[in-house]
Amino acid sequence: MSAIEADSIWKEYRRPHVRATTFKEAALALLRGQRGYDEFWALQDVSFTVEQGEAIGLVGPNGSGKSTMLGILARVLRPTRGAVEVTGRVCPLLELGTGFHPDLTGRENVFLNASLLGSGHRQTAARYGDIVDFAELSDFMDAPVKTYSTGMVIRLGFSIAIHMEPDILLIDEVLGVGDEHFQHKSYARLAEFKRAGKTLFVVSHSLTGITTVCDRAIWLDRGHIVTDGDADEVVRQYHDAVIAWEQSLAEAKARDASAS
């Protein structure tokens, strides 16, 4: 059974020339007959299917549409064209500790953050002990989060997310956070998650992170799928392409230097 079915996804962003934020600017732009924005297609005809239990990574340079794709899967963004069908409970982890409020205690923030990940009060209460243990923060849960170090915030945020027991976990750039010890724990937990037959969808610039966690990878470039296949193979191709591109840049620069 497939967990995610993305059918020909297109996403258009409008980039305003000069951001019209007031009625006056908007009215003037209208009077002058300006369209006021450039069209920009972040995703163009992207289709793929993810089977249940698969761990899939999305790689590609900045601006290739990875985060847009994840935003669409998380229902934060809406595709301009095309449709996504997701089967199962999704836990979108686009940021660690979404909605954390500095003045609230660690405990209060766990309940707030967990509700944003779709967990009810009773479910969160049942998992609360595990979350705190995993984050190794049991002495700090009654202190306001503004007194936490960056590492503590990250550990708590990550711990909440992986204890939500979703069918599908979406992760954006938050692989390999925390210190060495916490990273080992996190990777072990994700491996456990995979063994339990859950689906993982990971966006990362950390290619080793992708090859460690994922079986399959998709390489996106300027909104198009370049290749889709075995994680090691796709990551190798992407890595080679980047090296080749950098070499060509260096050569062009050298040519320019010798020409002038």
Partner 1 sequence: MSELLEVVRYREVLWNLVRRNLKVRYKNSILGFAWSLLNPLMQIGVWYFVFKILFGRDEPNFMALLVTGFLPWLFFSQTVLDSTACVTQEMALVKKAYFPRTILPLSVLLSNLIHLAFAFIVLLALYAVWGVDVTIYYLWVIPATLLVAVFAYGLSAMLAAWSVFYADVRFIIGNLIGLWFFLTPVLYPVYHVLKGSLKNPDNVVEIFLSAHLEPLKKVFMLDPLTIGVESYRSALLYGGENFIKIQVTPAMTELEQANALALQEGLRADYPLLPYILGAVAIAVATAIIGQWVFQRKAESFAEQG
CA-to-CA distance for 139 and 157, rounded, in angstroms?
Answer: 16
Q: By CB under 8 A, is residue 80 in contact with partner 1?
A: no
CB of 108 to partner 1, least distance (A): 7
Residue 187 in contact with partner 1, rule: CB under 8 A: no
Q: With binding defined as CB under 8 A, does residue 126 bind partner 1?
A: no
Counting contacts by CB under 8 A, is residue 128 touching partner 1?
no
Residue 142 sits in the site that holds partner 1 (CB under 8 A): no
> Helices 121-135 and 150-162 meet at what angle, rounded to 10?
130
Minimum CB distance to partner 1, residue 128 (Å): 14
Q: Identify the CA nearest to 110 among candidates 120, 100, 122.
A: 100
E strands present in 32-149: 37-51, 55-59, 81-86, 90-93
212 contacts partner 1 (rule: CB under 8 A) = no
- Give the CA dihedral 137, 139, 140, 143, nearest 10 degrees: 160
**Among the listed residues 115, 183, 206, 212, the single contact to partner 1 using CB under 8 A:** 115
18 near partner 1 (CB under 8 A) = no
Residue 95 as a binder of partner 1 (CB under 8 A): the answer is: yes
3-state SS class at 197: coil
Interface residues with partner 1 (CB under 8 A)? 13, 21-23, 26, 71, 74-78, 92, 94-95, 98-99, 101, 103-104, 108, 111-112, 115-121
